Amino acid sequence: MMRVARLYDFGDIRIEEFSRPAPGPGELLVRTRACGICTGDIMPWYLKRKAPLVFGHEPVGTIEQTGAEVEGFNPGERVFVHHHAPCFKCEACRRGEFVQCDTWRATNIKPGGMAEFFVVGKENLRDTHKLPTSLADADGVLIEPAACVVKSINRSALKRGESILVIGLGIMGMMHVQIARNRAARKIIGADLFESRAKRAVELGADIGLVVEGDNLPEQVREATGGAMADVVIVGPGTPRAITTGIACAGKGATVVQFTSTPPGEELTVKPHDLYFNETRLVPSYSCGPDDTRESLRLIEAGVLTARELVTHSFPLARIGEAFQAAQRPDSLKVVVTFSA
């Protein structure tokens, strides 16, 4: 038997006993060392449609056992496992649109990352990476969320010397700031409702940290850019209002990235006339694929992103309720749940 954290409703998480799984042919059994709480894990509408489940999809662990026919992985090796992996054969994969692959969407780790052990299916081995001893477990937990940011920045087509506005300065926003700095953006502007986050963004590489009050963000960006507005806008909050604000902050020929889904049924009101003549590109960026995780691991190994700067809270599995609550606080960036050996 083993312990798991099962989520029944938003805020209703229970530690339960669960049968310890065994790996089948081509699979791995991994003993969990740490798992992150994702921003998606604290979105009520997103979780309610999936509950009950053993949540957690940012795990790092040690290989406990290999199934028959597994090659290239051995017991005792520490790994990061992406919970989705593509087939590399379908039309979506051939176009590099890995998250649209049916296999990608069907795969997962079982029963989930918030468990003392989990099974990695043979498909998921395509996006499982061994971790160097130089990286702490908490650094490995950053790989999946950072890969989502890598994809977002790539989809924005941010170029050296361009300006970028990041709306929303939680963990994902802060990593957008740091990766934009690594990509040599000319001016990085962070914006958030909380002054503490705006200040922290400057400490992590932003040139300017703006505090949003009401509808004043476009005017603040206009002042910060000398009227040019931003070349790239990353919209973190998953609301139509935030996306509309992001479009208002975009300069001519700019790209606006919708980084987070809005709840089903919500509508976005835009003016196609303005989008057309300003040539504003509105681009969604959902999750990440194998190319993104490889680049994310490279950035973490290079010290561009570190747990020391981004992980603000750590809790043992027995205190999962506290960890979940901490992840919702404005003083939190990344919350990590640790598992004792």
Domain count, the chain: 2
pLDDT of res. 49: 85
199 in Cβ contact with 191 (< 8 Å): no
Quick one: three-class SS letters along 254-276? EEEEECCCCCCCCCCCCCHHHHH
Q: Which domain holds residue 16?
A: 2-142+305-338
Does residue 251 fall inside a structural domain? yes
Residues with Cβ < 8 Å from 269, sequence gap 6 or more? 240, 244
pTM of the model: 0.97
**What is the Cα–Cα distance from 55 to 157, expressed in whole angstroms?**
32
Q: Are residues 258 and 199 in the same domain?
A: yes
What pLDDT does 44 receive?
A: 87
pLDDT reported for residue 120:
98
**In the β-sheet with 230-235, what is the strand arrangement from edge to edge?**
208-211, 187-192, 163-167, 230-235, 250-258, 281-284
Distance in angstroms (rounded) separating the CA atoms of residues 155 and 313: 30
Strand extents, DSSP E, the chain = 2-9, 12-18, 28-37, 53-54, 59-66, 78-81, 117-120, 128-130, 163-167, 187-192, 208-211, 230-235, 250-258, 281-284, 311-316, 334-338
pLDDT of 341 = 56
Report how far residue 188's alpha carbon sits from residue 201's, in angstroms, rounded to the nearest whole number: 10
Whether residue 165 is found in the same domain as residue 254: yes
133 and 192 in a single domain? The answer is no
In this prediction, residue 289 carries a pLDDT of: 97
Q: Spell out the per-residue pLDDT of the chain, length 341, in tens.
A: 999 999 999 889 999 999 999 999 999 999 999 999 998 888 888 888 888 999 999 999 999 999 999 999 999 999 999 999 999 999 999 999 999 999 999 999 999 999 999 999 999 999 999 999 999 999 999 999 999 999 999 999 999 999 999 999 999 999 999 999 999 999 999 999 999 999 999 999 999 999 999 999 999 999 999 999 999 999 999 999 999 999 999 999 999 999 999 999 999 999 899 899 999 999 999 999 999 999 999 999 999 999 999 999 999 999 999 999 999 999 999 999 999 75
User: Residue 297 domain-assigned?
Assistant: no
The pair of three-digit structure tokens given for residue 216, joined into one six-digit string = 């004043």
Extract the tokens encoding 317: 């599995």
Whether 293 is covered by a domain: the verdict is no
The token duo for 101 is: 């692959």
CATH of the domain at 38: 3.90.180.10
Residue 202 corresponds to which tokens in the numbers above? 């400057």
